[in-house]
Structures are given as C-alpha cells and as structure tokens.
Amino acid sequence: MSGKAPEALVQSAADWWTTEIIDIHPGEIDIRGYAIQDLIGQISFPQMIWLMVRGDLPSAGEARLLEAALVASVDHGPHAPSIAIARMAATCGIGLNNAMASAINVLGDVHGGAGQDCMVLYELVRTELERGGELPAVADQVLAQFISDHGKIVPGFGHRFHPVDPRAAPLLGLVESAAKDGTVAGGYVAIGREVEAALRRRTGKSLPMNIDGATAVIFSELGFAPEMGRGLFILSRSVGILAHAWEEMRVRRRMKGPMPKDIPFTYAGPEKRKLDRPD
Amino acid sequence: MSGKAPEALVQSAADWWTTEIIDIHPGEIDIRGYAIQDLIGQISFPQMIWLMVRGDLPSAGEARLLEAALVASVDHGPHAPSIAIARMAATCGIGLNNAMASAINVLGDVHGGAGQDCMVLYELVRTELERGGELPAVADQVLAQFISDHGKIVPGFGHRFHPVDPRAAPLLGLVESAAKDGTVAGGYVAIGREVEAALRRRTGKSLPMNIDGATAVIFSELGFAPEMGRGLFILSRSVGILAHAWEEMRVRRRMKGPMPKDIPFTYAGPEKRKLDRPD
Amino acid sequence: MSGKAPEALVQSAADWWTTEIIDIHPGEIDIRGYAIQDLIGQISFPQMIWLMVRGDLPSAGEARLLEAALVASVDHGPHAPSIAIARMAATCGIGLNNAMASAINVLGDVHGGAGQDCMVLYELVRTELERGGELPAVADQVLAQFISDHGKIVPGFGHRFHPVDPRAAPLLGLVESAAKDGTVAGGYVAIGREVEAALRRRTGKSLPMNIDGATAVIFSELGFAPEMGRGLFILSRSVGILAHAWEEMRVRRRMKGPMPKDIPFTYAGPEKRKLDRPD
Amino acid sequence: MSGKAPEALVQSAADWWTTEIIDIHPGEIDIRGYAIQDLIGQISFPQMIWLMVRGDLPSAGEARLLEAALVASVDHGPHAPSIAIARMAATCGIGLNNAMASAINVLGDVHGGAGQDCMVLYELVRTELERGGELPAVADQVLAQFISDHGKIVPGFGHRFHPVDPRAAPLLGLVESAAKDGTVAGGYVAIGREVEAALRRRTGKSLPMNIDGATAVIFSELGFAPEMGRGLFILSRSVGILAHAWEEMRVRRRMKGPMPKDIPFTYAGPEKRKLDRPD
C-alpha cells in the first residue's frame, strides 16, 4: 500500500465520503443538523427538498413558490419522450424504479435543460443590469449574443404546441404576489417579461414565456443555481413519469413499442445483397 | 400493410397512446380533468402526486400523511448504494439527470422494495382478519408462512444500523392522530404493531418497526397498492439522490471511485500465466 | 469507529472490493492471470468475453459458437422497445452512453429474459433425463409443469412476427456441426427439438424454435448459467442499440416522441371539472 | 386531427421510424441488405459491429484492428466508477441488465469520453497538416490551442496510475503492421506519436500515450467518427461491467455500499439544531 500510517488510511477512507447533508448514528438521523423526528409532520415536502439541497429551511412564502413550480411541471403527455419511454419500459418486465430511471435519464439538455438554460439567460441579463445597463436595451443585447452563441431556439419562450402555455401566467402571478409581500425581490419577473418583449422585437413573432421561462423566473428569484433548476424539474417530472409507468403496468401490455403492430417501419437502406466471400 | 382502412389505422395509432391522466390541446392542459392553471398555487405537491397517481384529490388530512411519509424517506447517507452511486456518477462528466437515473435505477427489490413487501405482508394479515381471524394469532400464522416463503429477513422490521429507527415513531404517531379524527380507519397501525410483537415472540429478539414498516402502514391506510408504495419511496429518495449528486458536483472531483487511491483492491484470481498458443 | 485495529480496518477496506477478474499494478494489467499485452491482437473479442465472464479461455470451436450467437441477436428493428427507446433518447440532448443505458435497462424479464428462461426450461428437461427419464415423455411432462407454473407463453418458441424465425436454423446447424466434431456434447439440440415437438403435440400449433430458443441451446451447450444467457444477449443487443442511437443522432431531430405530431394521443380520463375548494 | 388525408397520416407514422440498418418481413431479417442467415457463422462479431454501425463490411485486416481495440478496453478494475457502480447495483435486487445500465450510464465525458476527445485532437492536427503544415510544428500549435480551450488534462496521454499504460504499445504495434500491409494509411500513428512528443516538449514531463490515445489512433485510422469512438469503447467496457456485476451477484452480498460497515462516513455539516417554529 501507500506510505501512510494505517490510522491515516482509515481516516482517508472515512473522509472519502464526506457530506454536509446528513449525519447518522445508531438511533439518530440528522438532516442538516435537524433531527429527522423533528421534521416529520412538521415541514412540507418542498421545505424538505429545499433543506436537503440548500442547507437551510425556506420561509413559508419561498416554499409555496417552489411548490407551485413543482406542481406545474409534472407532465406533458404520453408523446413526450420521457413519458413514452417510461410507458414502454414498464411493459418490458422490469421494476417501477427501472422504468422511471430509463425515463429520467433522458431529461437532458434538450428535454430537461430548457429551464436551466433560461436561468443562465436571465443571469446574463441581470449581470449586465448590475453593471449599469438598463432594460430593454440590455435585453436586446444579451438576447442577440445568446442567439449568436446558442442558436435561434431561445429556451423559455414559445412552444411547439401551445400558442400560449397555460402554466406560465399562474406562475408569474404567484411571483408577482410574492414580490409585493416581500417574499422575493421580483427583479427576475421584469427580466423575463423584457426578454419576451425583446424576442418579439427581434423576430416579429409572438413567443410568449412558457413553463420553462416561468419556472426559471421562480427558481432564479429563490436563489437556486441554474443546474439545480434542472434538478427541481426532474423531481417534478418524475411524478408524471411514475404515474404513466404505473398506468401502463396496469394495462399489462407486453413489449409495447412506439406503434401498433399494424403500422410497419420504413426501411431505407441498401437493397438485398450477398456476401462477397465468407469470412 | 394490414388490411385495415387508413382511417382505422390512424385511430389505432392515436389509441396506442391512451391515457386517463392528462389531456392536452393548444393552450390547454388538464390533469385528470382539472385545468392546470386551477391547480398551480392551489394544491400542494403531495396533493398533485396523489392526483396524478390515483386520479382524484385527497383530503387535506390524507395529503398530510402522504407528505410526512415523503419527508421521512429522503436520505440515509452516502454509504447507501443509491446515494454512493449518485455521488460517483456525478463525477463522470454526465448530467444531473443521468447521475440521478443511475441511482434511482437501483431502488430495486432489496434497496427499495422493503416498503412494498411490507405492505404485502400487512395485506395478508388483513385478508385473514376479514375471514374472521383475530390478532395476535393471525399475525403469528401469517408471519410464519411469510418467513417460510420469503426467508427470515422480514421487511419493515429491524434495521442493520438502528436499534430503534427514529423515523418510525413520529410516522406512527401521525397515523394514530389521523385515525382519531377519522382521516383514516387505523386498522393497519394495529396490524403493524402486532406483526412487531409476533416477530418478538417468534425470534426472541426485538425487531422494532423501521421506516419501511411505518411508511407501509401509512400507504396501506391511504389505499395505495404495494407497488405504488415503492413508487412513492422512489419520489422521496430522489430528493436525497439529487442533493448528494449536487453536493459531489460542486466538490468537482473527477472520476470518484469507492475508495481513496491509497487503498488498493484485493485480487483473488489466478496467478500470472501465459497463453498456450496464440489464437 | 469499531473496535478493530487500524490495520485490520484498512485490510477490510481493501478486501471489500475483491475480485478474481483483474489485477492492476503500475504498468501492469492482468486479466484472469494473463497480461493484457499478451491478449491484445492474440485473442478474439468473443474469447475475451468468455475469459472475463468464465475465468478461462474457450477453445476455438467454443468461441465460434459464442460468436455466432452474439452476431445473431444484435437487432430486431426500431419498433422493439429497446431500440425505440435508444432512438428517442438520442434526440434528448444526452450522450451516446446515456441513450444506450436507457435502452439496455429495459432488456428485462419480458424483453431480454426469454433466452434465460428457455435455458431454465432446457435444464429442467436435462435434470429429468439424468434421473433416467427419456425424451419425448420427459419433454411432455416438463413442458406441462412449466406452463402450469409460468403461463402459456413458452420462451424460445414461436414468434409474434415470424412464422419461422430465420435466425434459428443457422444457429442450430452450427451447434450440430460442433457436436459432430466434438466441440460440444450436443445434448441440448435434442432437448430443444423435442420441446418444439412437445409444444406441437400439446397445442396443435406449430411454434418453431426462435432466436431465444436457439441461443439457449448454444449457451447451454457452452456451459453458461441461464442468467449469463441474458448477459450475453445484452452484449449482443447493445450493438443494435448503439447503431440505432447513432443513426438517430445524425438525423438530428430534437425531442423525438413515438408518433409524428400529426397524430394525437387519445385521452380517456375524466371530463373537465373544477376544484371543490382551493387547498 | 391535422388536415392530412388518412393515407398520408399512416405513411407519416410508418416513416417516423425510418432506418437504413435493418429490414424485417415475416421470416426475413436483413441487416444492411444482407440476410441474417448469411451472416450467422460467416462473419465475426467485430465485423457485425462494423456493419451495423457503418453500413458495409470491413476488410479482414480492418476487422482485426477493431477487434484488438475492443479486447483492450474491457476493464480497469473494481475501483473504476463504472465497475464499482455495476457491482453495487448488482446487490440491490435488480436484473443484470439494470446493473449494467446504471454503469454504462456513467461512461460520460470524463469516464468514457477521453478516446472521443483524443480523436478530435488528432483530427485537428490532421486538418492542419492537410492545409500544408508539418509535424512537429503543427503538433505544438494544435496542442497549445487545445490546452487553452479545454484545460491541461490532455485526453489520450499520461495515466493516473500507470507510468506506462501496458495497452498502448501492443495496439500501436498492430496499427503499424496494418499500415505496412496497406490495411490502413498509417498517418494517425505519426500524429499520435508527435502529440506525445509535443506534450513532453511543452510540459517537460513524460506523458506516454495511454489506452485512449491508442484506441483513438485505431478508430481514426479505421474512419470512425469521434463520437463512435465513445460508442465502441462502451461496447468494450460493457464486457467488464457484465463480468463484475455477475461476480458480485454470485457473492450474494445484499446492499453493498462503497465501504465495509466498520468505516463510517464523515459528517461536515451544521451542528445539531432545532426548528424555530413548526411549519
């Protein structure tokens, strides 16, 4: 082994798995310093999520905003790749945890990252405002740079299916109320609305804020990092994934593919051919 | 293609993805019949979870019990396989969704199934009681059969680490209060306590109800199927998985294995040898 | 910590990760005792698979049979759940490893377990033959018991799509040749053929051996455990999963669901309704 | 639905799953135009991998180079995150496919991407050479830019554990032989060796080509895209993942975490505290 003394190696092994989240001793579980029995029945699930991820408890108002965002994002139907995958996986003779895992796994940059990317966009605007810039000019500039860097699909705005996303206005309304009573500062609402306006100026098209843009306002107001915006979306969408996997399991179809068997797939490859020589 | 008329094939394709959970039209999202904008800010996350999975809304008291169970199960430290996997995965250059998926994937029969299996055990007792049996005799008989069928580790009781699991008593206390005010019937509390007593009679050892036994009481009281007991545990444990993956990502260690590099693994295989002949 | 001396704890940590598969020292990698540089370019990939899984090298004839089974099972088209999942996952902004993982994850009891289950069936027949029974009576009895225990879908025979599975005859032919030259004993070919005959006697229908029944013959002849029959199928099907994920990635479609957007999903849930009371 | 005629919708559904890889009709499976029964027993597993991924068959020499790369990368011991994850997952009561999936999932940019990134680096050098530059000046320039863009860990060179990676020289030797007999052009060997020299000039340290740098030479010579370099590494490492998961399953340890239970984890979070107010 290495030159370290055994005591030092043992300490190194213990420290290899260091955490600030939880302490466990026989008969005792402390989450961020709070005994678990003091939390059960005393705090809400969103408060526990916040405590686990952030390290302290949120105020009641902050927790309600987080809760609204978690409620809003649970599902968008069985044609969404994550939901379709959960449903098909559930018919392949694997556990609910496995069906859920295959689905959660695809909440990536395209399918789950829009909220995170939109938080990054809002942060770019906020940074410029801190340097003395003013909306709406800052919104125009940052948007132009963002599109130049990342392409013309701007996360958080517009929707393939909804002319107006019905989840955005209720969420923004809640943030505005929370700004009025001082729960949050409210700056990101203005940023989000101004980016929406800047997009309209730039493209001539109406691309209203969607669920990702609205949750991005909420998570930014609440002080979450952009990557955690994705983490929180995952917790929310896991509920839809669970519900759909469960529903499919009770239909008991075996080996569900994407199409009914009457509809074939299209082959576009080479014509039939023979090996030149056996290998 | 098949002999079906095109209209029938199109309907077959639409029906292939049938669900009772969600309806979506441009500008409209309905969850089990409720417009999403009527739910955001109006129901809690546990109420949404119940609605998505069960199809109707729970009472406030039912939702609080569910919430307590979700709060109680979020984490059990970085040596639990699911948590360790999430932490290691987070250092391999993959997204938060991927680290979470690798971890959620292992909440299987051994690591995540105890709550579900315990619900099955309680249900066996309840079924016998309905046929006219009485506690504690029924508890003794069902327990003996269960151990004969499944082996001597009885899910829901005892714990590798905790002489008394600190999460069980608070949860049971909440169920007992909920039984007093009529939120739930309360029969599963008696069943759970009697199984605990039966185990003590049978083994001579104290194997107190643990987190899985307690959440099994709650989920059974609330009318969830055993498999959904696992689904709900997954939603809860996903919070710990997220928090630990996130913490590891911010430490920024690359390629974290299970041991510090000072400690080697033990090789127990064949001695060094040469190929007989090149192949 | 525990009462163990530090040296014992360090050894315990080293032994926690014990393996007979590989030994690693600076500048040295030994696979089952063979230096890796002696294997590279000297053994085939199927021989390496065998060495890693079984601990010793196969004969050239054994390796060729394994290779044929691996070649045969790589793909069955984009409507198979595993392949469809790989293709959809590949459009969600995740890595090739992630798309592959979501797909491999569903090669479970229904989608990937038929070969394993068929090996179990063959083993039941072989066990009875060892006790002095004779084909075909043993095949009839074991089949009847298997159907009674597991249901009427017998793994390894018949196919939802192919009246005759084109992969079975070539594989059986190779096993028969290998039996003639003594590479394998050949007993499982007879067992497989007799189970096919027993099925025809029992059901009156022709249910010819399919890919799973044929690879089950091969893997049984080669001495693999039934669970490893699934493991080897996974290695094979991973090739199709990789190829399809890769093809979809180069089409560059974002967020591919199971249906084109012209075709809606069918909603079968409750009619629109309002909350009784805000919660 | 949309305005399309039913026949067009059905065609749209069929075309939604278009592939050039495989065609399937009752009794018939064609891989890239070749009937599957013409391939079984006639081509090697590496040849099938190439056919599935590239669309045509490789020459025997090309297949042997691919095979050597697949053989070389199968394992690097139970402390590698992917292998440790496979082993722990295997103890959680999930299937072999699930344990493998959790592990394959982490072969990401850090754990599985080095070969792919090294291919990108070689390609940058080759592009400059095509524009008229000369080794070694081009190697120095491209390396400097690469380090400036990506950081000082250069994929393909040096190793955390091996002063000299024992897998590199055998692989390079095979490529050099293949260049001599015209199987490949050989340009990437020179590029790889020159990058190694450029690193030594730049850092003053010896950072010899490792397994990723060597397989990157092979896959580049064979004309694979960098992303497919990762895909092929995944197929190879899946063998180690399978073997280790299988070995752990037969040890039958339940719920294997990263450390033996004698060694605790270190808690570094807040001191014990009480809730200010119940919520």
Question: Cβ–Cβ of D92/B108 closer than 8 Å?
Answer: yes
Q: Which of residues 159-188 of A touch C (CB under 8 A)?
A: 160-161
Counting Cα atoms < 13 Å in the Cβ hemisphere of B52 gives 32
Three-class DSSP labels, chain A: CCCCCHHHHHHHHHHHCEECCEEEECCEEEECCEEHHHHCCCCCHHHHHHHHHHCCCCCHHHHHHHHHHHHHCCCCCCCCHHHHHHHHHCCCCCCHHHHHHHHHCCCCCCCCCHHHHHHHHHHHHHHHHHCCCCCCHHHHHHHHHHHHHHCCCCCCECCCCCCCCCCHHHHHHHHHHHHHCCCCCCHHHHHHHHHHHHHHHHHCCCCCECHHHHHHHHHHHCCCCHHHHHHHHHHHHHHHHHHHHHHHHHHCCCCCCCCCCCCCCEECCCCCECCCCCC
A-C contacts at Cβ under 8 angstroms: 148
**Are the CB atoms for A129 and A136 separated by under 8 Å?**
no
Rounded Cα distance, A186 and A177, in Å: 9
The token duo for A151 is: 């392409």
pLDDT of residue A2: 66
Q: pLDDT tens-digit profile of A218-227?
A: 999 999 999 9
Mutate to test the interface with A, among B96, B175, B230, B251 (most CBs of A within 10 A): B96
Q: pLDDT tens-digit profile of A25-43?
A: 999 999 999 999 999 999 9
Question: Cβ–Cβ of B105/C102 closer than 8 Å?
Answer: no
Confidence class for position C161, pLDDT limits 50, 70, 90: confident
For C33, left (φ over 0), alpha (ψ -120 to 50), or beta? left
Rounded Cα distance, A62 and A89, in Å: 36
Question: Cβ–Cβ of B104/A101 closer than 8 Å?
Answer: yes
Instruction: Give me the count of residues in chain C.
Output: 279
B-D contacts at Cβ under 8 angstroms: 148
pLDDT of residue D279: 47
Distances (CA, A) of B56 to B20, B21, B45, B239, D256: 11, 10, 14, 25, 39
User: Which of A86, A195, A182 has its CA nearest to residue A145?
Assistant: A195
The token duo for D269 is: 């979070």
pLDDT of residue C37: 97
Regions in chain D scoring below 50 on pLDDT: 279
Touching C: which chains, 3+ CB pairs < 8 A? A, B, D
Confidence class for position C279, pLDDT limits 50, 70, 90: very low
Instruction: Give me the count of residues in chain A.
Output: 279
Question: Cβ–Cβ of B105/A107 closer than 8 Å?
Answer: no
- Residues in B closer than 8 angstroms to A231, CB to CB, are 96, 100, 242, 245-246
- Residues in D closer than 8 angstroms to A265, CB to CB, are 14, 17-19
Question: Cβ–Cβ of D274/A34 closer than 8 Å?
Answer: yes
Question: Cβ–Cβ of B111/D92 closer than 8 Å?
Answer: yes
Establish if C150 touches chain D: CB-CB under 8 angstroms: no
Percent share of chain B, pLDDT over 70: 98
Question: Cβ–Cβ of C22/B269 closer than 8 Å?
Answer: yes
Rounded Cα distance, B68 and A8, in Å: 41
pLDDT of residue A279: 47
- Residues in B closer than 8 angstroms to A244, CB to CB, are 19, 21
Question: Cβ–Cβ of B95/A109 closer than 8 Å?
Answer: yes
pLDDT > 70? residue C2: no
pLDDT of residue C22: 97
pLDDT of residue B112: 76
- Give this complex's ipTM: 0.95
Rounded Cα distance, A83 and A100, in Å: 9
Instruction: Give me the count of residues in chain D.
Output: 279
Q: In angstroms, how far is CA C171 from the centroid of its own chain?
A: 15
Q: Which helix (H) or strand (E) element contains residue B227?
A: helix B226-251
Mapping DSSP to helix (H, G, I), strand (E, B) and coil, where does residue D256 land? coil
Q: pLDDT tens-digit profile of C140-159?
A: 999 999 999 998 889 999 98
Rounded Cα distance, B49 and B53, in Å: 6
Q: Which of residues 196-215 of B touch C (CB under 8 A)?
A: none
Counting Cα atoms < 13 Å in the Cβ hemisphere of B171 gives 29
Question: Cβ–Cβ of B34/C274 closer than 8 Å?
Answer: yes
pLDDT of residue B279: 47
Mutate to test the interface with B, among D4, D10, D237 (most CBs of B within 10 A): D10
How far is the alpha carbon of B133 from chain A, nearest alpha carbon, in Å?
A: 31
Establish if C152 touches chain A: CB-CB under 8 angstroms: no
pLDDT > 90? residue A64: yes
Q: pLDDT tens-digit profile of A209-268?
A: 999 999 999 999 999 999 999 999 999 999 999 999 999 999 877 889 999 989 999 999
Question: Cβ–Cβ of B89/D105 closer than 8 Å?
Answer: yes
- Residues in B closer than 8 angstroms to A174, CB to CB, are 40-41
Rounded Cα distance, B158 and B143, in Å: 15
- Residues in A closer than 8 angstroms to C161, CB to CB, are 261
User: Which of C58, C61, C67 has its CA nearest to residue C176?
Assistant: C61
Cβ atoms within 10 Å of D12's Cβ, excluding its own: 18
Rounded Cα distance, C243 and B164, in Å: 52
Confidence class for position B152, pLDDT limits 50, 70, 90: confident
- Residues in D closer than 8 angstroms to A259, CB to CB, are 13, 16-17
Mapping DSSP to helix (H, G, I), strand (E, B) and coil, where does residue D12 land? helix
- Residues in D closer than 8 angstroms to B5, CB to CB, are 6
Touching A: which chains, 3+ CB pairs < 8 A? B, C, D
Q: pLDDT tens-digit profile of C167-213?
A: 999 999 999 999 999 999 999 999 999 999 999 999 999 999 999 99
Q: pLDDT tens-digit profile of B170-191?
A: 999 999 999 999 999 999 999 9
Q: Which of residues 51-80 of B touch D (CB under 8 A)?
A: 77-80
A-B contacts at Cβ under 8 angstroms: 279
Average pLDDT of B233-262?
94
Rounded Cα distance, D46 and D232, in Å: 10
How far is the alpha carbon of C158 from chain B, nearest alpha carbon, in Å?
A: 21
Q: pLDDT tens-digit profile of B221-243?
A: 999 999 999 999 999 999 999 99
Nearest Cβ partner for B74 among A15, A48, A79: A48
Mutate to test the interface with A, among C79, C117, C174 (most CBs of A within 10 A): C79
Establish if A21 touches chain B: CB-CB under 8 angstroms: yes
Question: Cβ–Cβ of D105/B85 closer than 8 Å?
Answer: no
pLDDT of residue C277: 65
Q: Which residue in chain C has the smallest CA separation from D239? A: C49
Confidence class for position A3, pLDDT limits 50, 70, 90: confident
- pTM for this model (two decimals): 0.96
Establish if C247 touches chain A: CB-CB under 8 angstroms: no
- Judged by average pLDDT, the poorest of A144-153, B139-148, C40-49, C251-260 is C251-260
pLDDT of residue B147: 95
pLDDT > 50? residue A84: yes
